[in-house]
Amino acid sequence: MRIFAVTLALLAAVLLGACNGGDEDAAPTGTASPGGTAATGTTATPGTSATPAASLPPATVTGPAAEKLPEGKICFSARRDGLGEVYLLTRNGERNLSNDPKEDAECDVSPDGKKVAFSSERDGIYHIYVIDIDGKNLTQITSDPVGDFSPRWSSDGELISFSRTGDIYIMASDGSNQRRVTQAEMEQTAPPCKAGAFQADWSPEGDRLVFYAASATRQLGWICIVNTDGTNLTVVVADPPGWHVEPSWSPDGQWIAYRSIRDGNHEIRKVHPDGTEDTDLTNNPAADIEPAWSPDGKWIAFSSDRTGGFDLYMMKSDGSEQTRLTTDPIKDSDPSWGP
């Protein structure tokens, strides 16, 4: 596992350290390349009850910007108290949802808006947890000794995808029936989409996954699509050669938003699943990262450091009406938009 740890640190340094003042000490986000490390067999004990989270504190209004949230709720990661926590943002303000002294990150709101999945190292290794939207009924659903990252709900709420040692897995929403979808090759020599695979998001039909593959030593990342049975692996974005990461599939299935690092600049772009009409949406010299679609597909949330520290923003799906949502000096990142 030492090879995996080294490449994890290398890739995190590239994707976070290049963001001009991002929180480089934040919890890892599953953005790594495994150096050929093979995934182990599943050892998770699904449905394991975890220590209940403390009662949620009263909502803290973040200011007029939060009132502009057009619908639903956004979960996100932040280190407001010096610890990695999962927060929930609504038009009424924000709450600390995970509320634990260990690192919590990479949340995703369930399609019915009732639960949040996230990764946490509260038992010493990053695993996937699920918690009710009111902060109750915390449940650990993976327990593999190598660690699990980047949970994403399927559109029907029945399945969750996640990353383990550079491979994409899927499982039932209670953690059962885990199976591997992709298997990484040596990242130094792997062809596009065959290196470590991370942050898989679902097609609306639930039959395909969009993810990014990365080779840290070659400074390359690709946006890729694969069927949930591991067949029909397709390259969506590979050019220009560089970092193309963090894909998010639109609710209507017509677009994939992603972060692209070109000429040292981090932009949010969108592209059709067939690779056509690749369009820059943010067009800003700041670092714009981690796009997430609203449930109706009309908006995209993202994180940006255009005012100094990283805050959450939203924009229309064509890149217009870019609006700041949070104003805390500590980095806000990894948004997920639910109903």
Q: What is the pLDDT of residues 28-50, one digit of tens each?
A: 233 333 333 333 333 333 444 44
User: Does 9 have pLDDT greater than 80?
Assistant: no
Average pLDDT taken over every residue of the chain:
85
Pairing of the two strands 234-237 and 220-227: antiparallel
Hey, what's the torsion of the CAs at 193, 195, 199, 202, to 10 degrees?
30
Q: What is the pLDDT of residue 310?
A: 93
Q: What is 2-338's CATH topology?
A: Neuraminidase (2.120.10)
User: Does 199 have pLDDT greater than 60?
Assistant: yes
Q: What is the pLDDT of residue 18?
A: 43
Structure tokens at 48: 């394991």
DSSP 178: -
Q: What is the pLDDT of residue 66?
A: 65
What residue spans define the domains of the chain?
2-338
- How many residues are listed for the chain in this entry? 339
pLDDT, mean of residues 93-97: 90
The residues, any chain, with a CB within 8 Å of residue 271's CB and separated by 6 or more, are 223, 236, 237, 255, 256, 258, 277, 278, 279
What is the DSSP code string of 39-104? P------TTEE-PPPPPPPPPB---GGGGG--SSEEEEEE-TTSS-EEEEEETTEEEESS--SS-E
Amino acid at 205: E
pLDDT, mean of residues 110-121: 97
Q: What is the pLDDT of residues 144-198, one digit of tens each?
A: 999 999 999 999 999 999 999 999 999 999 999 999 999 999 999 999 999 999 9
Q: Would you call 339 exposed, middle or buried from its count of C-beta atoms within 10 A (0-12, 13-18, 19+)? A: middle
Q: What is the pLDDT of residue 81?
A: 78
The residues, any chain, with a CB within 8 Å of residue 279's CB and separated by 6 or more, are 269, 270, 271, 319
Q: What is the pLDDT of residues 265-311, one digit of tens each?
A: 999 999 999 999 999 999 999 999 999 999 999 999 999 999 888 99
Q: Are 166 and 134 in contact (CB under 8 A)?
A: no
User: Does 1 have pLDDT greater than 80?
Assistant: no
Q: What is the pLDDT of residues 225-251, one digit of tens each?
A: 999 999 999 999 999 999 999 999 999
Structure tokens at 49: 């009850």
Respond yes or no on whether the N-terminal peptide bond of residue 329 is cis (omega within 30° of 0). no
